Amino acid sequence: MSLLTVSHVTRMFGGNRAVDDVSFEMTDNTLAIVGPNGAGKTTLLNLIAGQLHPTHGMIRFRDRNITRFPPWRVARMGMVKTYQIVRPFRSLTVDENLVLFSELRGTVDREEVLAETGLTDWRNYPTGALPFGLLKRLELAKGLATNPDLLLLDEPIGGLSRTEALALVGTLAALKARGVRMLIVEHRLAEILPVVDRVLALDRGRVIFHGSRSEFYHDSAVRTAYLGSSDVGG
Amino acid sequence: MAGVLAPILIYGTLFGLTYVLIALGFTLLFGISRVLNVAYGALYMVTAYIIYWLVVEQGYDLLISAVIAVGVAILVGVAIFLLCVRFAPDPLRFLIVSFMFALLLQYMFSYYFHGASGFVIPSLIPIKGILIYGVSVNPVYIVTAGVALVLLFALWAWIEWTSYGHTIRATAEDPETAALFGIRVRQVYLIVVVVSSALVAIAAVLIVPATEVVPTMWIEPFVIAFVVAVIGGLGNFKWTLPAAFLLSFSQETVAFLYPTSQSLTDIVAFVVAICFIAALPHGFGGLLREST
Amino acid sequence: MKAPERPSARFDWTAVWKRFRSPFYLVALAAIAVFTATTAPWAGASSLPLSLLSPWLLPIYFPFWVVFASVYLAFVLGWGNRLMSPFYFAALIAIFAFVVLAEGAPTSYFALSLVFTSIYITLALAWDFSSGLSGYLNFGLPFFYGLGAFVTGYFAWGGQRYIPFLLAVSLGVGALGGFLFSFPTLRLRGPYFSLLSLLLPLLGLDFIANYWTQLGMPTLGYFDLPFLAPTPGAELVILSVANGFLLTVLYLLRNSHFGLILRGIRDDEDALSSQGIWTFPYKVVAFTLASGIAGFAGAAYALVVTFAGVDTFEFTFLFLPLLIVILGGAGEIAGSVLAGYLVILVYQYTLSWFPGLNLILFTAIAILLVLFLPRGVTGPVRRFIQFMSTPEAG
């Protein structure tokens, strides 16, 4: 059964087609959505998560039509989005941030989530005191605390130093290994591609590529649109 | 037929434009700086009391006193705004503090005049009613309506067409980026506050002579400004006119149907606002907006 | 992927039973039983040979068993850790201490001032719990306060003079009103909701002031209502018990999952809802509860002054509780109690010294406090506690 099906989804802002007739299907793998700035990646992610509604098209999650669902309902069904610009609950401690969600869909062991994201030592710190790198990890932890079937990650390593980014990608790899399914929007291809199975590339709202990671490396359309002709690296 | 429609149309239009004048500064301030300034109505009250004191108690000339009063209102408005922005920049605390300033001013005026209330201030416009289509109209409102139209247009022209207006709009969109581009954000806010305060003060100069001066008089202009702003879509000041008209026409219709009730108008305002918010949280402006 | 398990058993009854049987809890239960038995009006305490303890075992303290029982219950049911806060205990002690102080002169101005203080504290507690925690500043609460007073007056004049009934009905009407009011308005985000809620008391002032004769209400208001209790001292006990009970319940709620969600709403409601929590019902419950409490407080006020009129919609019943909450630290609940005693006692005493000017003084101080002490007096203390308890990270 396909986990997520996006069919001919279009989203317009005024006359601008931010997302233009995008269709793809996602089963049991890790998908990355890539593209240059303004390609519509974050808009697409917001559409999938329910924070925006498409002008046309349909989105199905676990074989249910979630196109018009409000975000909280989508999250209850098991698909949760994390924020690119982190949004922790600042007056609460790290652990309390997780407590908010950990009983929503079955009981989630917060200790395990904290351990997986490397936040165990910080569990009683007020989030206002945490440095940026840890806040990015907390963002991930909050998503995990909801016991998601599909985690939507919006630029999870955005703004991190190379070392921090690689460490976080290591965490993502571990999550992937234990069966967490992820859809990742990311700019920093070199660091993120190793944990990704399939790639969807957007340019100006349209899909220009959808295939496996290795196919992505070699697709000329992608290279021209996104990378010029420079090497992807990684 | 005309006997039925005429009062509603005439009063609806005149009061609608009066509301526009009252609401204009509030919507402008909110649209640009995203703060809900409860003390806005208090500036209306300050203007009225200053005029009263200068003209009735001290005996100065009305026009000069009006100018001074507007000036004082601007100063007070700027002072409150600066204090709040400096020490309570988030919208919720700004709201509480501005509310408290309004109360403070109310208590101060009440105390200074030893609780006496119901003063009348003289008008720049003759108050004797004129008959229009058989409807008795106070010329104050005609002049107010005219001034409202002029100021609405002037404000709109300023924001949309002049380069400084462009600066203001940029600051409204994104103050941080605007600052990066060399726009002096604090100066922009300051100017907006001055204009906003001046607008409500001018409204007071024109309108208050037709009503009375009481320590709680800051509430009504605030309620009107707020309801109009909400219906129009907070911050969307091109919708101020239709919003004000919606309010005034519904009030006049209700007043026509139930002529014996005096304060039904306030209730109508409240009910209209609630219905609007329930149906359209972003007001008229939200109808045409596409993004969430 | 973890298979979603059923939520863990919410209640561990075996642990409760164990606690109940443990020596500490049995002694506590016995102490409460003794207290209740000796202070009960029918026990004839004055005839018992307990002269050493008699100031604290007067029948007038009997209603306090409610507070002791609720605290005991909270601990035995395993929620004790939610109450383990210095502020909570300080507040509880303060409530009891002021009652004891007042009993020396149950009809004095001091006792009467404390009665008013207690009513303001009730309002502050309601406001702090709903608005202080969630960040949704509900300026409409005084409307339900006034409504409670009116309902009491209405029923009292209708022949119903049984106090508990009047209080209960006012609470119910307040809660119902708050519930209905939440529906259209809580869909709005913070500042917009606040401004709209400001219209409620204005409406109350306006509408009631002009319409009440037409609605069949007496022109001068409902006067000659029954007294809440025979003396201010007795009234104080009733109100203090109510506050003590409320404090406990609200504090428990504050530190529960429910309270956590409310605090999350204050921090970032959009993030909360996008991650699976439908925030609307939490807000509605908080506000319904607060409005009910406000209705109760309004009824109490009407029964203390034996009059229900337009003045209950005045802004002072909005402004003073707000000041108390700010001074006590928004969201701290217990802070409202402590700050309440301070603020209102000063207010009551200066009211007789500078009428008119005290309002100005108070408003000015309030403004300064909000500007410079956004988290109230308890803020720095709380930060210190948090600092002391934060572990060193590796």
Domains delineated in chain C: 59-378 (1.10.3470)
Q: Do A52 and B290 touch (CB under 8 A)?
A: no
Res B282: pLDDT: 59
Tokens standing for A63?
């074989």
Cβ-based contacts of A12 with chain B (< 8 Å): 290
* Minimal-distance CA residue of chain A relative to C391: A124
- Residue B86's CB: how many other CB atoms inside 10 A? 9
> Contact, A170 vs A191, CB < 8 A?
no
Tokens standing for B209?
């002579």
- Hey, is A10 helix, strand or coil? strand
Whether the per-residue pLDDT at B230 is higher than 70: the answer is yes
Q: Say yes or no: ipTM exceeds 0.85.
A: no
A49, A91, A181 member nearest C274 (Cβ): A49
Residue B37, domain extent:
2-287
What is the residue type of B57? E
> Contact, B149 vs B17, CB < 8 A?
yes
In a domain, B292, yes or no: no
The distance in angstroms from the start CA to the end CA of chain A is 32
**Residue B268 belongs to domain with CATH number:** 1.10.3470
pTM confidence score: 0.80
What single DSSP character describes residue B131? E
Q: Do A90 and C267 touch (CB under 8 A)?
A: yes
pLDDT band for B292, please (50, 70, 90 cuts): very low
Flag residues of chain C having pLDDT under 50. Answer: 1-9, 45-52, 393-394
How confident is the model over A154-169, as pLDDT tens digits?
999 888 899 999 999 9
Res C5: pLDDT: 36
Res C8: pLDDT: 44
C2, C260, C272 member nearest A96 (Cβ): C260
Distance CA A163, CA A157 (A): 10
Strand partners, A24: A6
Res B3: pLDDT: 64
Res C2: pLDDT: 38
B111, B223, B277 member nearest C184 (Cβ): B277
Q: Cβ of A118 under 8 Å from any chain C Cβ?
A: no
* Number of CB pairs, chain A paired with chain C, less than 8 A apart: 99
Q: Do C275 and A103 touch (CB under 8 A)?
A: no
Whether the per-residue pLDDT at A178 is higher than 80: the answer is yes
How confident is the model over B215-228, as pLDDT tens digits?
888 888 988 888 88
Distance CA A27, CA A183 (A): 11
Q: Can you tell me which residue has the tokens 């009551």?
A: C348
Least Cα separation, residue A187 to chain C (angstroms)? 23
In a domain, B129, yes or no: yes
Distance CA B238, CA C85 (A): 52
Res C6: pLDDT: 37
Res C393: pLDDT: 43
Q: Cβ of C9 under 8 Å from any chain A Cβ?
A: no
Cβ-based contacts of B108 with chain C (< 8 Å): 360
Res C391: pLDDT: 56
What is the residue type of B286? G
Least Cα separation, residue C211 to chain B (angstroms)? 9
How confident is the model over C72-114, as pLDDT tens digits?
888 888 888 888 888 899 999 999 999 888 877 777 888 888 9
Q: Do A51 and B292 touch (CB under 8 A)?
A: yes
How far apart, in Å, are the Cα atoms of B164 and each of A61, B120, B183? 49, 39, 10
pLDDT band for B291, please (50, 70, 90 cuts): very low
The more confident residue out of A201 and A223 is A201
Res C216: pLDDT: 62
Strand partners, A13: A16
Give the count of domains, chain B: 1
